[in-house]
């Protein structure tokens, strides 16, 4: 059996060292980091866990969380408010084939052009406190929650997984 493709934002084993707080150049704000990110991502993956750096990069640079390429028009997501970056429609069939979590998504999927993402998880002040992380000198405030640049949800389409997988194959 061929091993499943690894999503761009999945945490890699070698990156899973201690979580730290630092200044993120992507969001220009203090944020959580997973050790040192490997670029390009490589090595065994921890499926279901996100690399914080790549997660922010995807949200703020509008990259697909699966393939890491720019999302042109519409993308798909699981919910209206989510910490997950969009994924491109081209990646749905392979994600549907390999990700068991998607098959538990009984409500279907949202296809959107712009959407609202809570980035609470990205900044995660609460997480920093829970894990008792040291806040570097000079950082006096960590946002609890912020919204992505796009605050409106446009052209929302709900689709079931089978339908979406069939529709996007070769599209």
Pick the piece of the chain touching Zn ion (CB under 5 A) from 25-33, 88-96, 122-130, 148-156. 88-96
Q: Does residue number 66 form part of the binding site for Zn ion (CB under 5 A)?
A: yes
Peptide bond preceding 22: is omega within 30 degrees of 0, i.e. cis? Answer: no
Burial of 106 (0-12, 13-18, 19+ CB in 10 A): exposed
Rounded to the nearest whole angstrom, what is the least distance from the CB of residue 37 to Zn ion in the complex? 19
Of 39-47, 83-91, 106-114, 138-146, the segment contacting Zn ion by CB under 5 A is 83-91
Residues 18, 129: Cα–Cα separation, whole Å: 14
Q: How many CB atoms lie within 10 A of CB 88?
A: 22
**88 touches Zn ion by CB under 5 A:** yes
91, 119, 142, 164: which one contacts Zn ion (CB under 5 A)? Answer: 91
- Which of residues 6, 21, 64, 111 is near Zn ion by CB under 5 A? 64
Asked if residue 24 lies in contact with residue 53, where contact means CB atoms within 8 angstroms, the answer is yes
CB 74 within 8 A of CB 38: no
Which span (13-21, 33-41, 85-93, 124-132) binds Zn ion, by CB under 5 A? Answer: 85-93
Residue 17 tokens, joined: 């060292």
The smaller minimum CB distance to Zn ion, of residues 30 and 93, is found at 93
Tell me the number of residues near Zn ion by CB under 5 A: 5
Angle, CA 94 vertex, CA 81 and CA 165 arms, to 5°: 75
- According to the binding rule CB under 5 A, does residue 165 interact with Zn ion? no
Interface residue list for Zn ion (CB under 5 A)? 64, 66-67, 88, 91
């Amino acid at each position: 059996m061929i091993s499943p493709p690894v999503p761009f934002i999945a945490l890699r084993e070698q990156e899973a060292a201690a979580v730290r707080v630092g200044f993120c150049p992507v969001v220009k704000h203090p944020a959580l980091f997973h050790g040192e990110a490997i670029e390009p991502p490589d090595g065994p993956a921890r499926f279901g866990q996100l690399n914080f750096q790549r997660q922010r990069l995807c949200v703020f640079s509008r990259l697909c969380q699966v393939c890491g390429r720019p999302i042109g028009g519409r993308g798909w997501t699981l919910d209206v408010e989510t910490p997950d970056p969009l994924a491109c429609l081209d990646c749905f069939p392979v994600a549907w084939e390999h990700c068991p979590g998607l098959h538990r998504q009984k409500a279907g999927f949202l296809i959107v052009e712009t959407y609202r993402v809570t980035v609470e998880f990205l900044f995660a002040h609460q997480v920093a406190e829970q894990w008792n992380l040291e806040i570097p000198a000079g950082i006096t405030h960590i946002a609890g929650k912020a919204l992505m640049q796009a605050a409106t949800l446009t052209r929302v389409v709900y689709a079931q997984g089978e339908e979406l997988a069939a529709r996007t194959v070769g599209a």
